[in-house]
Homo-oligomer: A and B are copies of this chain.
Amino acid sequence: MRTFDRTTSDSSPVGIVDVVRWEQFGLDTTLPFHAMWYTVPPASSSPRDQHPEFELSLVLTGDAEVEAGGRNTAVSQGGAFLLDSGEAHVVHNRSQETPLTIFSAYWHPLPGTEPTAGDVQ
């Protein structure tokens, strides 16, 4: 068994967001997805992002407000959200005190599956 601790891992900033990429753990032949933790500081928002990978996100600390598909959706601590391939998204942290930390797994659409409505080719 291996354990992974965000607080002791290498991180890099993406705008105001702190990102811990799982590539550093050498699991590329083990995991069927890419992964990262990211933290949005209080009263901040992630940069707008859009990519061909699906992205499954788990809210570990704080509460998220996710802007995607033309609306904002609250996802509280312990909840999950799945972004479609190509779906533009911004993640807001509306708290004035609590950082928002999310674990995301992301992967390209599986072979043989249809592109989703949100796909950008």
Interface residues of A (CB under 8 A from B): 1-6, 27, 29-33, 54, 56, 58, 60-61, 66, 68-69, 73, 75, 77-84, 87, 89, 101, 103, 105, 107, 109-110, 113
Nearest chain B CB to A71's CB is how many angstroms away? 9
Residue in contact with A89 in the complex, picked from B1, B81, B82, B113, CB distance below 8 Å: B1
* Number of copies of this protein chain within its complex: 2
Residue pair B101, A78 in contact (C-beta under 8 Å): yes
Residue pair B5, A81 in contact (C-beta under 8 Å): no
Residue in contact with A1 in the complex, picked from B1, B31, B82, CB distance below 8 Å: B82
Nearest chain B CB to A8's CB is how many angstroms away? 10
Known pairs A1-B68, A1-B73, A60-B58; A27 contacts B103 (CB<8 A): no
Residue pair B33, A3 in contact (C-beta under 8 Å): no
A59–B77 CA distance with the chains assembled, in angstroms? 12
